Amino acid sequence: MHPWLLATLGGVLIGLSAVLLMGALGRIAGISGIAGGLLAGAGTGDRAWRYAFVLGLVVAPLLLALVRGDSGVGVPQVSWPWMAAAGLLVGFGTRLGSGCTSGHGVCGIARLSPRSLVATGVFMLVGIVTVLVVRHLLGGLHV
């Protein structure tokens, strides 16, 4: 299967899940908010759909790996401490931005939210600058 076709299918599925979650439950499909609700102890009626959503995030790549016949696991380009630091920075950024790329970038932009337009612009700019610095100015972090 061509990479562009997989990317297109993935985008359609992400959009469909966002529409279904909004239509069925009136909720935004923002991963940080969904997972944060589980960690913060959301009410019992609010936990089932959150668990299902997070479980889908884990199971879907595994199913894709089965269909494609590969391991589905990418080889990390950096060491575990660097990945842990990056994860903490992403977590900090989602709290600072009151949401993540899925909530702001997929759902917020679709709703024409000015806050989401700004947040997504900042996400993109920081990502571009990070790649520029790490890959091109520092020559990559192979530590």
Q: What DSSP string runs through 52-85? A: HHHHHHHHHHHHHHHHHTS---PPPSS-HHHHHH
Token pair of 88 as six digits: 């903490």
Q: Residues 81, 61: one domain?
A: no
* pLDDT tens digits for range 21-77: 999 988 888 888 888 888 887 667 788 888 998 998 888 888 888 887 776 566 667
Using the 3D structure, point to which of 75, 101, 129 is the last residue of a domain.
75
Q: What is the pTM of this model?
A: 0.72
Using the 3D structure, point to which of 33, 55, 75 is the last residue of a domain.
75
Q: Residues 52, 96: one domain?
A: no
Q: Residues 56, 104: one domain?
A: no
Q: Residues 43, 70: one domain?
A: yes
Q: Residues 56, 84: one domain?
A: no
Q: Residues 68, 113: one domain?
A: no
Residue in 48, 49, 28 with CA at minimum distance from that of residue 104: 28
* pLDDT tens digits for range 79-96: 788 888 888 888 888 888
Using the 3D structure, point to which of 32, 57, 75 is the last residue of a domain.
75
Token pair of 80 as six digits: 């575990």
* pLDDT tens digits for range 63-82: 888 887 776 566 667 778 88
Residue-range definition of the domain harbouring residue 53: 1-75
Q: In angstroms, what is the C-alpha Rg of the chain?
A: 17
